Amino acid sequence: MTDMLTLIQPDGATENGYDAGLSDEELIHCYRAMLLVRSFDEICLKLQRSGRIGFSIPNRGIEATQVGAASALRKSDWIFPSYRDFGMYLYHGIPAVEMMHNMFGNALDSAKGRQMPVHFSFVEPIHFCSISSPIGTHLPHAVGAAYASKLRGEDTVHLVSFGDGGTSSLGFHSGMNFAAVWKAPVVFLCQNNGYAISCPSDEQTASDGYAIKAEAYGMRHATVDGNDLFAVRQAVLDAAELARRGEGPTLIESVTFRMGGHSTSDDPTKYVPKELIEEWEKKDPVERFRRFLERKGIWTQKLEDDLRAETLAEIDAAAKTAESTDAPGLETIFSDVYAEVPHHIRAQGEFLFDLSKRRGDAASGGGEFPL
């Protein structure tokens, strides 16, 4: 594997006095976002195990990659996230309750309950395109959007994040190729977290890591320690600056580890060796950043305890609000597709509302088909 950029050592010391140029408040904001992710994972696991949401995606271990990358972008940029990027939303100030509305698929969910949980999409305060369930399809989306912004003469950057398994998709190859040919302002962030569900990296690819794949497309690449928030941030900052200057895309491989299942439906103890988990536990990205804050003299046990309690309470309250929000109206099965509802769809809608009324269920509210 090519040289891997590390800027925070496991003991929290920075490489050669590296300075990220962030204020104390900004550093703590990064740490807070990572703790929010931990709390989100914890609460979603309980919600799923108690049958109140369908499933969730654990983020444990990937937080520094998510927050480091997100922190390198401007509000005018675009993010095409993978499903394991909760920290990107929370760093950019998406309220946890908005994410929870999606987890429950309720009436306030931006997708109105039509998507699976974890399929967030937001336009503010930074554009988050909707998660694509089919692996790799969002890479060409990001490249197309980036090329469009280049044609318009904008200086926006488009970050697309995907897993190591995503590099075996057709979307990876067509996206990488077009981005390089068109010099589109894209940052490809490959989260090499060791496994694609249960498929280990050595069964995924015969190449020496993932970053090197960029060479075949004539693209720059970098490999970073994905459990080091500053290393990921710096690599994305560098790639973004070049992209803004019209110098095209970069592929960044973030080497990290998924300290949990692929989803809450998965049991990684069936395929991840115990020793590997123990090895990566020592490289925990949240602990590493906390040690950095302590060394810098801006963190204490009291601040730690308070922040952990506060972030957990925030996520808990968000879950309670979302759970008590109504389900989407029955008409949302039909709305937002046609400007004018065609007669055969109308007939189905009227039939459904009539049936709902006759059965006396609450879904139609006893009303007529409103479209």
Instruction: Decide: is 135 part of the binding site for ligand TPP (CB under 6 A).
Output: yes
152-211 positions binding ligand TPP, by CB under 6 A? 162-166, 191, 193, 195-197
Instruction: Decide: is 94 part of the binding site for ligand TPP (CB under 6 A).
Output: no
What are the phi and psi torsion angles at 142 (to 5°)? -65, -40
**What is the Cβ-side half-sphere exposure of residue 12, based on CA atoms within 13 angstroms?**
14
Q: How many residues bind ligand TPP (CB under 6 A)?
A: 16
Collapsing DSSP states into helix, strand and coil, what is residue 214? helix
Which residue in the set 84, 92, 158, 288 belongs to the binding site for ligand TPP (CB under 6 A)? 84
98 close to 52: Cβ distance less than 8 angstroms: no
333-362 positions binding ligand TPP, by CB under 6 A? none
Q: Quote the CA–CA distance of 242 and 25 in Å, as a whole number.
A: 27
Which listed range, 127-135, 142-150, 180-188, 297-305, lies at the site for ligand TPP (CB under 6 A)?
Answer: 127-135
Q: Would residue 262 show up in a list of annotated catalytic residues for this protein?
A: yes
Q: Write down the least CB distance from residue 61 to ligand TPP, Å.
A: 10
Q: Would residue 127 show up in a list of annotated catalytic residues for this protein?
A: no
Which residue in the set 92, 150, 262, 288 belongs to the binding site for ligand TPP (CB under 6 A)? 262
H or E stretch at 80:
strand 78-80
Q: Which is nearer to ligand TPP, 38 or 119 (CB)?
A: 119
Collapsing DSSP states into helix, strand and coil, what is residue 127? strand
Q: Write down the least CB distance from residue 57 to ligand TPP, Å.
A: 8
Q: Which is nearer to ligand TPP, 51 or 134 (CB)?
A: 134
364 Cβ partners below 8 Å, 6+ apart?
A: 330, 352, 353, 356, 357
**DSSP structure string for 181-205:** HHT--EEEEEEE-SEETTEEHHHH-
Residues that bind ligand TPP in the complex, under the rule CB under 6 A: 84, 133-135, 162-166, 191, 193, 195-197, 258, 262
Task: Give catalytic residue positions.
Answer: 258, 262, 271
